[in-house]
């Protein structure tokens, strides 16, 4: 059971380069996106506003950034006209750069994005009748080497920053035109009307520049009719290997005064980083999905090599202990269906046995394996998948088969990959064998 706990992570493990909190810009301005509200307040105070003003402005600016989605300080109509250039001289409102946007025949959309320091990563939007799901990346590449996953063949370049993670959600809202339509300016808006007297110094001028309340919500914006309703941390990377940044980004996504997405509509998927799972439940509180993919040690060791460090039993126990898991909030077990590898009726029965043994409030998502060039696996046949699903269902767990989406643009699960290559375990073994023979 715990006998594998002391092993190091197998495969090629690159050190995780620490991502910068704020990308320094040549012009010295600071990107506000990704910063917690208290940090915005600190920066405003450091730039010269008195404490009270800094607090108020931070609240107003935060609302404009995350609730209204503006990318220009000039659009912040309840901020005094004279203050907008002051903000623009010191701060920017960033978005990830879009390198390419693709549209699948099934409506799925994929964006290739670039960080300010030139690394590419991807995000995917998957609409269906009842919801619109954004699949968000947490890292450029991945340190883990799951053998069926295209991202696993990439080198980890670096962790994404909170701004780059929440920036994906902002960009999706931009692309879907989902920011609340501008409220008509109320008489107290347009800052100058409420500015008191001449602006003697920046700090004091801005302290008195606003009406006390910034309640400009005179429009409706509810979940109804939204295109983007759900977020899954299932893009590139292992989110629990970038825990702090993912937590900070999701905190912004959930902030009621901003993007305001409920934690119930956010799912974080992990390949099974047990030591971070409890903190994930406690500090983020989102739904958990676990990439199980195998119910026997040899098979899961191959498919998800992290299994050699954190084995199946310990993983299931950590799931049973996941804070907030209940029958109303079940844990999702992802199970990729690979021909002849993990798809037998016996495997299905073993899966049911394990889920019962740990008394897990569970549902199982069966994902037909999505092929990619050079993958050594094939997808299970449809009636094999049906039989597997039926056994799990009869065992008392919902086991829907996920329809692959966006395969034509390589946007489906496990197909995401940008340029950073890493050698596969098999390739390294082959090279080592060849070198030994020579």
- Which residues are catalytic, by number? 122, 413
Q: What angle do CA 129, 135, 141 make, to 5 degrees?
A: 155
Choosing among ligand SAH, ligand SF4, none, which partner's interface includes residue 195 (Cβ < 5 to 8 Å by kind)? none
- Looking at 273, 413, 417, 422, which residue binds ligand SAH (CB under 6 A)? 413
Looking at the Cβ atoms of 49 and 268, the one nearer to ligand SAH is 268
Shortest Å, Cβ 119 to ligand SAH: 17
Minimum CB distance to ligand SAH, residue 372 (Å): 6
Q: Give me the least distance between CB of 150 and ligand SF4, in Å please.
A: 8
Could you say whether residue 148 binds ligand SAH (CB under 6 A)? yes
Contacts of 266 (CB under 8 A, 6+ apart): 230, 231, 232, 233, 250, 253, 254, 286, 287
149 belongs to the binding site for ligand SAH (CB under 6 A): yes
Q: What does the alpha-carbon distance between residue 397 and residue 356 come to, in Å, rounded to a whole number?
A: 10
Of 322-381, binders to ligand SAH (CB under 6 A) are 334, 336, 367, 369-370
Q: Which is closer to ligand SF4, CB of 19 or CB of 303?
A: 303
234 touches, from ligand SAH, ligand SF4, none (C-beta below 5 to 8 Å by class): ligand SAH
Binding segment for ligand SAH among 13-21, 142-150, 218-226, 259-267 (CB under 6 A)? 142-150
Stretch that binds ligand SAH, among 88-96, 146-154, 189-197, 392-400 (CB under 6 A): 146-154
Say which entry of ligand SF4, ligand SAH, none residue 367 contacts (CB below 5 to 8 A, set by partner kind): ligand SAH
With CB under 6 A as the contact rule, which of the stretches 119-127, 247-255, 269-277, 278-286 interacts with ligand SAH? 269-277
Give me the helix-helix angle, 243-254 and 162-175, nearest 10°.
Answer: 40
Nearer to ligand SF4, 28 or 374 (CB): 374
Pick the closer one to ligand SF4 by CB: 151 or 342: 151
- Which residues contact ligand SF4 (rule: CB under 6 A)? 142, 144, 146, 149, 151-152, 237-238, 271, 291
Decide whether 205 or 412 has the Cβ nearer to ligand SF4.
412
Q: Is 234 in the site for ligand SAH (CB under 6 A)?
A: yes
Nearest distance from C-beta of residue 58 to ligand SAH, angstroms: 33
Binding partner of 170, given ligand SF4, ligand SAH, none, CB within 5-8 angstroms per partner class: none
CA distances from 226 to 95, 125, 129, 216, 302 (A): 21, 13, 12, 20, 41
Least distance from C-beta 271 to ligand SF4, angstroms? 4
Interface of this chain with ligand SAH, residues 15 to 54, rule: CB under 6 A:
none
Total interface residues for ligand SAH by CB under 6 A? 16
Q: How far is the CB of 336 from ligand SF4 (least distance, A)?
A: 9
Do the beta carbons of residue 249 and residue 165 sit within 8 Å? yes
Question: Which is closer to ligand SF4, CB of 140 or CB of 352?
Answer: 140
Looking at the Cβ atoms of 77 and 291, the one nearer to ligand SAH is 291
230 binds ligand SAH (CB under 6 A): no
Q: Is 65 in the site for ligand SAH (CB under 6 A)?
A: no
Rule CB under 6 A: which residues touch ligand SAH?
146, 148-149, 234, 238, 269-271, 291, 334, 336, 367, 369-370, 413-414
């Amino acid at each position: 059971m715990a006998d594998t706990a002391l092993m190091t992570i197998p495969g090629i493990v690159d050190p995780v380069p620490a991502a910068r909190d704020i990308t320094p810009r040549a012009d010295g301005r600071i990107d506000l996106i990704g910063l917690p509200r208290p940090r915005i307040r600190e920066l405003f105070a450091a730039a010269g506003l008195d404490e009270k003003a800094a607090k108020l402005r931070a609240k107003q600016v935060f609302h404009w950034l995350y609730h209204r989605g503006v990318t220009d300080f000039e659009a912040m109509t309840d901020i005094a006209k004279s203050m907008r250039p002051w903000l623009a001289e010191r701060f920017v409102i960033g978005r990830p750069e879009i390198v390419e946007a693709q549209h699948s025949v099934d409506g799925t959309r994929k964006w290739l994005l670039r960080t300010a320091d030139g690394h590419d990563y991807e995000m995917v939007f998957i609409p269906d009748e009842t919801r619109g799901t954004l699949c968000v990346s947490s890292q450029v590449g991945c340190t883990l080497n799951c053998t069926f996953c295209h991202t696993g063949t990439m080198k980890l370049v670096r962790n994404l920053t909170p701004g780059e993670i929440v920036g994906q959600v902002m960009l999706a809202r931009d692309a879907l035109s989902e920011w609340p339509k501008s409220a008509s300016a109320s008489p107290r808006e347009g800052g100058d009307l409420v500015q008191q007297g001449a602006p003697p110094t920046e700090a004091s001028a801005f302290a008195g520049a606003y009406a006390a309340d910034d309640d400009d919500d005179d429009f409706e914006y509810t979940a109804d009719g939204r295109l983007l309703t759900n977020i899954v941390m299932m893009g590139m990377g292992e989110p629990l290997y970038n825990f702090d940044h993912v937590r900070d980004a999701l905190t912004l996504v959930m902030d009621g005064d901003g993007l305001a997405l409920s934690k119930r509509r956010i799912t974080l998927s992990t390949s099974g980083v047990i030591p971070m799972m409890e903190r994930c439940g406690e500090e983020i509180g989102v739904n958990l999905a676990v990439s199980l993919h195998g119910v026997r040690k040899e098979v899961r060791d191959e498919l998800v090599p992290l299994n050699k460090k954190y084995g199946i039993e310990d993983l299931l126990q950590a799931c049973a202990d996941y804070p907030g898991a209940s029958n109303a909030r079940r844990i999702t077990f992802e199970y990729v269906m690979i021909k002849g590898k993990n798809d037998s009726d016996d495997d299905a029965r073993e899966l049911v046995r394990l889920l019962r043994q740990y008394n897990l409030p569970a549902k199982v998502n069966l994902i037909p394996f999505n092929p990619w060039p050079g993958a050594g696996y094939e997808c299970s046949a449809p009636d094999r998948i049906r039989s597997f699903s039926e056994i799990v269902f009869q065992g008392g767990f919902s086991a829907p088969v996920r329809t692959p989406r966006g395969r034509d643009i390589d946007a489906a699960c496990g197909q995401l990959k940008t340029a950073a290559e890493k050698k596969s375990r098999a390739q390294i073994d082959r090279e080592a064998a060849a070198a030994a023979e020579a």
